[in-house]
Structure 1
Amino acid sequence: MSELASKQCIPCTIGTPPLRGEELKEFHRQLDIGWQVVDEHHIQREFNFKNFRQALDFTNQIGELAEAQGHHPDIYLSWGKVRLVVYTHKIDGLSESDFVFAAKVDLMNKPV
């Protein structure tokens, strides 16, 4: 298990500065290769599946993880595809918890 995945998502407070620059890059390097940092604002990843059922099952797993962590990504579900967009809404940017959540997703059963 990665160091990030072993942590828990911790709510940040309004006024906490979003991650930027080298600190953001260091967290990004700890994730699976499929994650992209977009405009230093959010991270996203797309997962492909053989059918809608597998995509839906994965979406439900993500939902359970989100509830357990108290950290909720934007989830886009379509036939054979799930796209996650993760950022901390409270600070309108990235926090360590976003990378913790993504690392936990990296450990989940993924598409074949």
Structure 2
Amino acid sequence: MNELSREQCVRPQKGAPPLSHNEVDTLLPMVEGWLVIDSEEVPKLQKTFRFKRYKEALDFSMAVGLAAEKQDHHPKITIEYGKVTIEWWTHVVNGLHRNDFIMAAKTDEIYRSREDTKPISS
């Protein structure tokens, strides 16, 4: 189990800065397979998960959604046949926060706990 997945999200204060490049570079290796993308001029964590069936993708998305509700930190979830793409970022800091890495690690734990998954490939 990833140490980040054991952490709880904390609500960032308004005006808090996003993580620095150095902080992102330190945390990124802790969430294997996640990419930092620039979407709409905002850095985000992104990863695509593969599934054999659409229902498996839906079930996974629901599990991630429930974990997000528990932590009060919500991703963008894109569901397609055979795959789900998850993006984490923090609106209030307009970029990446430690919460995004915590939730990426929790997302990986959810994926690994499922019996119906294929190996991850983006």
Please indicate the TM-score interval, normalised by the length of the shorter structure. over 0.9
Offset of residue 54 of structure 1:
0.6
Give me the identity figure in percent.
Answer: 39
Q: Over aligned residue pairs, what C-alpha RMSD do you find? A: 1.2
TM-score by length of 1: 0.93
Partner SS for 1:41: strand
Aligned length in residues: 111
Moved over 6 A (4+): none
Which of 93, 98, 121 is the equivalent residue of 1:96?
98
Structure 2: unaligned runs, 5 residues or longer: none
What per-residue deviation string (whole Å, max 9, x for no partner) do you get for residues 61-108 of structure 1?
A: 111101111110000011111000100011110000000000111111
TM-score by length of 2: 0.86
Structure 1: unaligned runs, 5 residues or longer: none
Alignment map for 1:5-84 (pairs within 5 Å): 5-32=5-32, 34-39=33-38, 41-84=43-86
